[in-house]
Amino acid sequence: MTTKIVVTGSKGRMGQTILLHAKQDPQIEVVDSFDQDESIENHLKRGATIMDFTTHTATPIFAKAAQKAGCPMVIGTTGFSDAERATIVNASKTIPVVLTPNMSVGVNLLFSVTKILCTALKEGFDIEIIEKHHRHKKDSPSGTAVRLVEMIAEVKGRQVLKSTKHGRSGNMGARSGDEIGVHSIRGGDFVGEHTVIFAGDGEVFEITHKANSREIFAKGALVAAKWASKAKPGLYDMFDVLNLRTPQRDA
């Protein structure tokens, strides 16, 4: 069965990459594409999945239109405010929405392994996250880093969110046990690199995922589009798409 898609942000890096790979996939049919400054209503095709990698201000507008038209959505955009995210969540009540900061299979395995290690190393290990992206990336920290913090908080307790330190400067005193350090590097043409460090007394665990090409995100997005086209209304992520969610792992 062919999955029909409409690609937003067609002039952007991810939009272009998705279009390239979609045309090479016999199970995908691109029925339309447009840039973020155009009206989505002129491009909606009922039953087609909206592929959105635009901006945090444009996506909620697209989500409302997709909800009205009954079109599934796959969203890889990041940097949403609480109000913008609420609009997307509301849309997911009547259409399937796959919302994830990173559609790479490898990064979602990074999420999974991080959660497992966080459970096993819950006491006595300090956690730091380092993320690197190209000079043109606008939001910081990356959506992937934010999701890593959220997943760690699910294991260690939500109070760690209040103890997250985004970079450090000056005399901040000794590091607290609940603290998570998040450090953003911007420069060159880094596609995306994320490292999670578990630093204990006498031993250190480091997990790193490096994206060398945007192709991995495009391929993951197309997998998500095929999945979303058959899903029931709801808010999903790549754990659902890749069947990584288990009662033991995500209870």
> Per residue of the chain (251 residues), what is the pLDDT tens digit?
899 999 999 998 899 999 999 999 999 999 999 987 777 887 887 789 999 999 999 999 999 999 999 999 999 998 899 999 999 999 999 999 999 988 898 999 999 999 999 999 988 999 999 999 999 998 899 989 999 999 899 888 877 788 899 998 898 888 888 899 999 999 999 999 999 999 999 999 999 999 998 899 999 999 999 999 999 999 999 999 998 876 544 54
Q: What is the Cα–Cα distance from 69 to 31, expressed in whole angstroms? A: 15
| Pair (26, 69) in one structural domain | yes
| Pair (198, 124) in one structural domain | yes
| Pair (94, 137) in one structural domain | no
User: Residue 6 contacts by C-beta under 8 Å, 6 or more apart in sequence?
Assistant: 30, 31, 32, 33, 34, 43, 44, 45, 48, 49, 50, 51, 71
- Among candidate residues 43, 115, 133, 219, the one labeled active-site is 133
Residue type, 236: Y
43 among known catalytic residues: no
Q: What is the Cα–Cα distance from 129 to 208, expressed in whole angstroms? A: 10
134 among known catalytic residues: no
- Among candidate residues 64, 137, 165, 183, the one labeled active-site is 137
Q: Token digits for 55? A: 């901006």
Residue type, 155: V
Q: What is the Cα–Cα distance from 170 to 163, expressed in whole angstroms? A: 17
| Pair (8, 79) in one structural domain | yes
| Pair (81, 24) in one structural domain | yes
Strands 3-7 and 96-99, by their bridges, are unpaired
What is the pLDDT, as a whole number, of residue 172? 83
Which secondary structure element, helix H or strand E, spans residue 54, and what is its range?
A: none
User: Residue 40 contacts by C-beta under 8 Å, 6 or more apart in sequence?
Assistant: 8, 34, 50, 61, 62, 65, 66
Overall domain count for the chain: 2
Residue type, 142: S
Q: Which domain holds residue 149?
A: 105-211
In this structure, are residues 103 and 210 in contact, taking their beta carbons and an 8 Å threshold?
no
Query: What CATH code is carried by the domain that includes residue 28?
Result: 3.40.50.720
Query: What CATH code is carried by the domain that includes residue 143?
Result: 3.30.360.10
What is the pLDDT, as a whole number, of residue 246? 61
What is the pLDDT, as a whole number, of residue 159? 76
Q: Token digits for 150? A: 């959220």
Q: Token digits for 224? A: 């998500």
For the question of whether the overall pTM of this predicted structure is more than 0.85, the answer is: no
